[in-house]
Structure 1
Amino acid sequence: MNGEIRALLARHLPDYRVRSIDRLGQGLDNTVYEVNNELLVRRNKATTPEETRQEVARLAAVRELSPLPVPEVVFADESGVIAYSKLPGEPLNRHPVADPRLLARPLADFLSALHGASPDRMRDLAPLDTYPAPTLLQDAELDYRDVEAHVPEDQRHLVERFLGEPPPDEPAELRFCHNDLGAEHLLADAAASTITGVIDWTDAAITDPAHDFALIYRDLGPEVFELTVSHYAFALDEADRARVLFYARCALIEDLAYGLSTGPHHYAEAALTHLAWTFG
C-alpha cells in the first residue's frame, strides 16, 4: 500500500519529497497514512468518485463555517484518496485534556455555526440521514446481546432498562451536522485544554442535531454536555434532550460491540468507562 501512496503523491505533488509513510490506523471504511509528519492521506475503501468530489466541496464549505480548525484538502483522487494538511494536537479519546469543561464554549460555538447553516445550502454537499429511532434501538439490542457478558453485572440492568423503553419521537427539524463527533474526531492540546481541530467529515449529513450532542454526552459526560448546551445558540427542549440520551446510549453500545469485535479495543474500554454516566 505504501507504493500506491507514493504513486499518488508523485502524480498530484510531483515536486514533493517523501521521507516517511506511516499507517496511522484503519476503521470500517477508511485507512489513514501519515506522510512526513505533515500530510494525512486517507483512503476510503467504498467511496465513489462523486462522493469524493462531494466531500472535497463539503470540507471547503465547512472551513468557511467552522470557528474551529478543520482539515484543508491538499489533493483528491477519484480512487477515493484524499490528502489533507495535518492539524496540530492529538485525538481527545487517547489524550484527555486537563479540564474538559474548558471545551464546552468552543464546542458550543462550533455546533452553533454548523447547525446554523442553511440546510438548503448544504443539501448538495451532504446526504440526508433519517435512520429511524426504532431501527437504531433494534440494532443496539442486537449489539448488546453479542457483548452482554462483557458488561459488569451490576450495570447490565441500566442497559436492559434502556432497551426496554420506547424510542423517542423523530425530530421536528434537521440540520447540517458532523454526525460522528466522538472524542476520536476532536484534536486537542491536552495541557492547555483547547480543541485544535475537528476531523473525519465522511459521515457529515443533514440530520438531527441531537446526534452531535449525543457523542459529547457519551464521551465527555453530562457536565460538559450541560455547559455546551448553556452556550449553544439554539434551545434544546425536553424532546431534544431525550433524543440526545437515546443516541448517546445507542452509540455507546455500538462502540462497545465494535471494540470487542473488529475495532481497536480502546473503543470498548472507553464504552465501559462511560457506561455509568451515559445510562445512569
Structure 2
Amino acid sequence: MTERSISQGSRPEPMDADGYRRLLEAHLPGIEIRTCEPITDGWSSYVLEVNGRRIFRFPRRPEIAHGVETEILLLPLLAEALPVAVPSYDVIARDRPDDPALFVGYDKIQGQQLHRDSLPVQTQRRQLARDIGELLSALHSIPTDGLATANVAPVTADGWRRQYQAMFERAQQDVFPLLDVEAQRAESAFWHEFLDDDENFSFVPALVHADLGPEHIICDYGQSRVVGVIDWEDAQIGDPAMDVTGMLNEMGEAFAKDVLEHYAGNTDQRLPNRARYYARVVPYHHIWFGQETGAQVHVRQGLKRIGLHTVVD
C-alpha cells in the first residue's frame, strides 16, 4: 500500500474531471495517464477510471473521507471473509500523514454492474441471486466483536431504533412540511408502524454494507457469477435487512426473494418486511441530500417516490 503526501498549498481544487485528474497527477507525479474517464458522479465520491484498469475514488465531503478511513481498515478483513473480491487499496493520498484520505486507488475489479436488464435468462438470474445470498451470509456472519480494529462502532438493536427515531424527527422537521396533509398523515402512520413494533428491533446486529445497490455489485455475465462488491465506506453494524433494500428497490421483489432463498439468515421471518421499510425510507435520503447540496432534482425525486410508495415489481 502506498501513501503519498504533498503540502496543503499545492492541492488543486477538484471541481470537475480535469480538477480531479490534476489532483491525481499532483500526488502521483510518475503516473502515465493514457485514458481517464469519469465512471460515476455519485453522492459520496467522484470516481475516475484510468487506463481501463485503475480506479481512483475522491470523497466529496469530510464525513465521506472519514468513512473511507474505516473502509481502509475494514477491506483486508472483508477480503479474507467474503467469497468475492473487494477493492484492495494500494494508493492512499493525503495532504499530511494524519489527514483523511484525499483519494484512494486500486486495481479495477473486472466485470459489469448488476442490472436487471442484463438478466434475460432465468437460470442466470437465479445463479446471481444465489451468489448474492451466499455473499450476504458470509458478510453477516463476520464476528462483530472483532471489528474494533477497523473503527466500526458497535450498536445494539435498541441503539439502531434510536437512530431511526431521530431520523423520523428529522423527517417531520425537514420533509413533512413539503407534503400535503393527507401525505403527512400517511407517512406518520408508516413511521409509527415500524418504530412502535418491538419485533422490528429483535434482530441480531451484523456487519452490513449499508449501500448494497446493484451499482456496487460487480458481475461476470459470461460465467453468471458475482465477482466483486465495491464502495464500502458506509459499512457499519446494523440490521441485516438493510442489505436487501437495494435488491428490492432496483431488482424487484422476485429477485430479492431469490436472494433470500440462499441467505443463511432466512430464519429471520421479519427481515423481508424490515427491508421494505428501509426501501420506503430511501426517498427521504434523496430529499435530505438535495437539501444539503442544493440539488433540487433530488428533492423532487424523493417527493415523487414518497407519493408513489412503491418499489420495483
Per the TM superposition, whether the score is higher than 0.5 is: yes
After superposition, give the CA deviation of every residue in 1:209-245 in whole Å (9 maximum; x if it has no partner).
Answer: 1111222222222222222222112244333333222
Following TM superposition, by how much is the alpha carbon of 1:199 offset from its aligned partner in structure 2, in angstroms?
0.8
Relative contact order, higher structure (CA 8 A, sep 6+): 1
1:16-165 superposed matches below 5 A: 16-44=31-59, 45-46=61-62, 52-79=68-95, 80=101, 81-93=103-115, 96-99=118-121, 100-125=125-150, 126-128=152-154, 130-131=159-160, 132-139=163-170, 145=176, 162-163=190-191, 165=193
Question: Structure 1's 72 and 157: CA in aligned 2 closer, same or farther, altered over 3 A?
Answer: same
Structure 1: distance between partners of 2:87 and 2:232: 9
Alignment partner, residue 178 of structure 1: 209
Give the TM-score normalised by the residue count of structure 1: 0.77
Following TM superposition, by how much is the alpha carbon of 1:110 offset from its aligned partner in structure 2, in angstroms?
0.5
Following TM superposition, by how much is the alpha carbon of 1:186 offset from its aligned partner in structure 2, in angstroms?
1.4
Flag structure 2 segments of 5+ consecutive residues without an equivalent.
1-18, 96-100
Structure 2: distance between partners of 1:108 and 1:24: 27
After superposition, give the CA deviation of every residue in 1:228-275 in whole Å (9 maximum; x if it has no partner).
Answer: 22211224433333322211211245347758973987x959x95xx6
After superposition, give the CA deviation of every residue in 1:158-188 in whole Å (9 maximum; x if it has no partner).
Answer: 8686356342432442111111111221123
Q: Considering only CA atoms, is the larger Rg found in Structure 1 or Structure 2?
A: 2
Is the 8 Å Cα contact of residues 54 and 105 (structure 2) preserved in structure 1? yes
Flag structure 1 segments of 5+ consecutive residues without an equivalent.
150-154
Structure 1: distance between partners of 2:237 and 2:93: 25
Structure 2: distance between partners of 1:121 and 1:143: 37
Structure 1: distance between partners of 2:187 and 2:224: 31
Structure 1: distance between partners of 2:146 and 2:139: 12
Is the 8 Å Cα contact of residues 194 and 277 (structure 2) preserved in structure 1? no
Q: CA RMSD in A?
A: 3.8
Q: Which sits farther off after the overlay, 175-184 or 127-136?
A: 127-136
Count how many residue pairs are aligned between Structure 1 and Structure 2. 270
Which residue identity lines up with residue 143 of structure 2 in the other structure? S
1:192-207 superposed matches below 5 A: 193-207=224-238
Give the TM-score normalised by the residue count of structure 2: 0.70
